[in-house]
Amino acid sequence: MKKILLLTMVVAFAACNKTVQNNYVIAGTAEGSNDGDTIYLAIPTRTRIDTTTITDGKFKFKGVVDSITYGYLMLGSSEDELEMSAIVLVEKGNITVQMRQKGSRVSGTENNDKLYAITDKLNPLKMKIREASQKLIENKSNVDEKTILAIMQPLTDEYNAAFEKAINENKNSIIEDMIKAIYGKENSVDYPTTIKESRKRKIEQQNTAIGKMFADFTIENGTLDGKKVSLSNYVGKGKYILVDFWASWCGPCRAEIPNIKKAYEKYKGKNFDVLSVAVWDERNATLKAIKEEKLQWNQIIDGGDIPTEIYGIEGIPTIILFAPDGTVAARDIRGEEISQTLMDILEKQPKK
């Protein structure tokens, strides 16, 4: 979902300079974790994901960087069962992490302290906007544009002022990049239009709910080699199809891939296949991510807004399972729920 933190992982990571050793230590705790659970540290421009395990309720990473970069901490009892995450700026110094289900926190170094101080200011303002807009979306009466503006404008003005202040105080820095990546899409919103669109999206979600026949879409240049492709090329062809709507820049989308790989390896060739549909993404970035993640299943790329509007998708990853006849068998499944849903459905199929 777009509520979730969106991380644009595009910074360059230079080789370590032998003469300048910038050592970092990332140490922390993870809410609800057990000894032996695995913590993953993904630094986008490194080819290897670092791992460590929870011991006595704590975890620690050590390493060297020669310049500050983005990182993504993830908790899971295995690589296939990721449960919690946190954004971290990997830089010289001792970094302290508190991983929590409702808002992780990172501190201890200059830039992490700055970033999370800003999120402390922006998150409550963002939440006030979302709560107000949600009430308007769920309002059964036909709220007019004037009423929407009277409610939303003071909230957005307050948010925009805090956003601009944070940007102006951190020009040409990694903090500016992070603020734009996390909050940029909420800075300037036409709420009368947005609320009307959200109401429309609720109807679209109902029209593509479990049991409904799939809604087709066609993407020009949607194949890896630039040809036109439709969802109906894959769905409704006699197999269960797990469709993952994702983007290369979306950290939670990338974190979900191991769960999808697990399902693919277990059930491929058993009346089941996987299709990834890239949305809200640049073509070259998608192609690069497909290569990095070594995705072996079918792909539709350059989806833009077309699939998300048809399926009422507000955030990614969104994963939908279609039955052989093209009806929606399951929707909005994540993590271990993917394997559990497939086991419940596929392993109960009559033997042929």
* Domain identity same for 60 and 187: no
- Answer with the one of 104, 129, 157 that is the final residue of a domain: 104
What integer best gives the mean pLDDT of the chain?
84
Helices (H), 169-225: 174-183, 191-207
Examine the domain organization and report whether 207 and 330 are in the same domain.
yes
Residue 14 lies in a domain: no
Task: Please indicate whether residue 187 or residue 154 has the higher confidence score (pLDDT).
Answer: 154
Residues 287 and 170 in one domain: no
Query: Looking at the structure, do residues 117 and 94 belong to the same domain, yes or no?
Result: no
**pLDDT per residue over 27-62, tens digit each?**
999 988 889 889 999 887 676 788 999 999 899 999
d(C-alpha 42, C-alpha 70), whole Å: 9
From 104, 124, 144, the end of a domain falls on 104
Q: Last residue of a domain, which of 193, 226, 247?
A: 193
pLDDT, tens digit, 9 for 90 and up, residues 266-319:
999 899 999 999 999 999 999 999 999 999 999 999 999 999 888 888 789 999
Indicate if 338 and 207 belong to the same structural domain: yes
In a domain, 207, yes or no: yes
Q: Which residues contact 164 (CB under 8 A, 6 or more apart)?
A: none
Same domain for 208 and 158: no
Domain count within the chain? 3
Provide the 8-state DSSP code for 199: H
- Name the residue with tokens 């999120």: 119
What CA–CA distances, in Å, run from 290 to 7, 295, 311?
17, 6, 23
Both 284 and 308 in one domain: the answer is yes
Residue 134: both structure tokens together: 């949600």
CA dist 81 to 10, 49, 92, 144, 337, Å? 25, 15, 30, 45, 10
pLDDT tens-digit series, residues 148-161? 778 888 888 888 88
Same-domain status, 307 and 338: yes
CB 132, CB 151: distance < 8 Å: yes
Q: What integer is the mean pLDDT of 102-122?
A: 93
Domain that holds residue 140: 112-193
